[in-house]
């Protein structure tokens, strides 16, 4: 404009460069032309970029959230595919949070990054930030792989986790590849966003398949309640033994007034209480899920051992008054 070129000619060139009609109209409307003077910015024109900047900022936030949760979910799936002897029982249950975040963040990311006519200037700033973070992730992954190789820890699990980080970082670089390559293009390149969206959908599907759906989640919550009941029974048994009360049965006393729930809240089946040794009680419940059945089960699937002081007396019967039974055929040691 300052060189005297007509707005119509500038509009045609901008359109050839990938600008949308709406962007072209908004950009040209920011300037007032007067014969003999250079273009003058219209009052309030500095506000014109607030909307695109806000959308690009939200898109960048969605990108960061997606990358973080993709890495978290990818690590958990890698641990599931390469099980180890010291894996935590809670791995499958923890997958549900990154899955939930990705289910929400992926459509937002798709809407903001695949829409036509994204403004160029905020993308260049965000491209620099994303490129820096992605580059740091790639360098850190390379250093971690070399260190694992030199230490003899380059396992299949480690390689899968490193691959997840590298793939996510490369997709981030691909999202802003035009800006990072030096071209001030205004349109969104769809290859990077589509790749990240596809990766998100694949990991979401795998995560749901591994962790189970709502039914599995409800069953795990019921099993967690059973573990909580066993913990309460264990505390009550130790309290009763400490004050000299015979154990079993599990009862309420003056010094231990809190009687725990002694039967399954769902089925009404009494929790199983056995006495493998004079100073040991074993509390067991029938768990619904394999994940929770193996949790804390050094005493056996769904079982918890309680150590009692030596000399703790045994009750006269095998049936505690409030529920709970010794295993069929088991007798307390003398």
Identify whether 332 is part of a domain.
Answer: no
Confidence class of residue 277 from pLDDT cuts 50, 70 and 90?
Answer: confident
Where among 212, 240, 273 does a domain terminate? 212
For the segment 135-169, what is each residue's pLDDT rounded down to a tens digit?
899 999 999 999 988 888 888 889 999 999 999 99
Distance from C-alpha of 109 to C-alpha of 94, rounded to nearest angstrom:
23
324 located within any domain = no
Return the exposure string of 137-153: e unless at least 16 CB atoms fall within 10 Å of the residue's CB, then b: bbeebeebbeebeeeee
Average pLDDT over residues 289-294: 72
Q: Are residues 299 and 183 in the same domain?
A: no
Residue 64 sits in the same domain as residue 201? yes
**Mean of the pLDDT values across residues 176-201?**
69
Q: Are residues 130 and 62 in the same domain?
A: yes
Closest among 105, 60, 274, 103 to 205, alpha carbons compared:
103
Q: Is residue 141 part of a domain?
A: yes
Domain boundary among 168, 190, 212: 212
Domain span at 30? 7-47
161 contacts: CB under 8 Å, gap ≥ 6 = 74, 75, 78
**Whether 42 and 61 share a structural domain:** no
Q: What is the pTM of this model?
A: 0.64
Q: Evaluate whether residue 318 is within a structural domain.
A: no
In whole numbers, what is the pLDDT of the chain averaged over residues? Answer: 80
Same domain assignment for residues 133 and 38: no
pLDDT value of position 328: 46
Are 43 and 58 part of one and the same domain? no
Question: Is residue 334 situated within a structural domain?
Answer: no
Name the pLDDT band for 103 (thresholds 50, 70, 90): very high
Q: Are residues 174 and 226 in the same domain?
A: no
What was the pLDDT predicted at 13?
A: 93
- What's the total number of domains in the chain? 3
């Amino acid at each position: 404009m300052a060189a005297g070129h007509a707005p119509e000619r500038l509009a045609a060139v901008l359109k050839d460069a990938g600008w949308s009609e709406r962007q072209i109209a908004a950009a040209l409307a920011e300037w007032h032309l007067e014969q003999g003077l250079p273009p003058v910015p219209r009052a309030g024109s500095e506000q014109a970029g607030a909307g695109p900047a806000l959308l690009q900022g939200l898109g960048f936030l969605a990108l960061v959230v997606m990358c973080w949760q993709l890495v978290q979910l990818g690590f958990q799936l890698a641990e599931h595919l390469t099980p180890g002897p010291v894996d935590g029982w809670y791995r499958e249950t923890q997958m549900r949070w990154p899955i939930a975040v990705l289910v929400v963040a992926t459509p937002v990311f798709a809407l903001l990054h695949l829409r036509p006519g994204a403004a160029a200037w905020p993308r260049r700033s965000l491209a620099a930030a994303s490129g820096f973070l992605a580059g740091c992730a790639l360098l850190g992954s390379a250093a971690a792989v070399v260190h694992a190789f030199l230490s003899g820890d380059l396992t299949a699990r480690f390689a899968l986790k490193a691959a997840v980080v590298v793939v996510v970082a490369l997709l981030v670089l691909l999202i802003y590849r035009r800006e990072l390559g030096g071209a001030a293009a205004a349109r969104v390149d769809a290859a990077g966003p589509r790749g990240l969206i596809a990766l998100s959908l694949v990991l979401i599907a795998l995560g749901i398949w591994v962790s189970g759906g709502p039914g599995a989640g409800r069953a795990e919550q019921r099993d967690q309640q059973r573990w909580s009941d066993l913990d309460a029974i264990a505390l009550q048994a130790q309290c009763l033994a400490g004050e000299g009360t015979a154990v079993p049965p599990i009862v309420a006393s003056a010094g231990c007034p809190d009687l725990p729930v002694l039967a399954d809240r769902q089925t009404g089946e009494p929790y199983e209480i056995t006495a493998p040794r004079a100073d040991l009680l074993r509390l067991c419940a029938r768990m619904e899920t394999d994940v929770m059945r193996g949790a804390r089960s050094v005493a056996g699937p769904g079982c918890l051992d309680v150590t009692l002081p030596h000399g703790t007396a045994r009750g006269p019967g095998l049936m505690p008054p409030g529920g709970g039974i010794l295993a069929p055929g088991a007798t307390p040691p003398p």
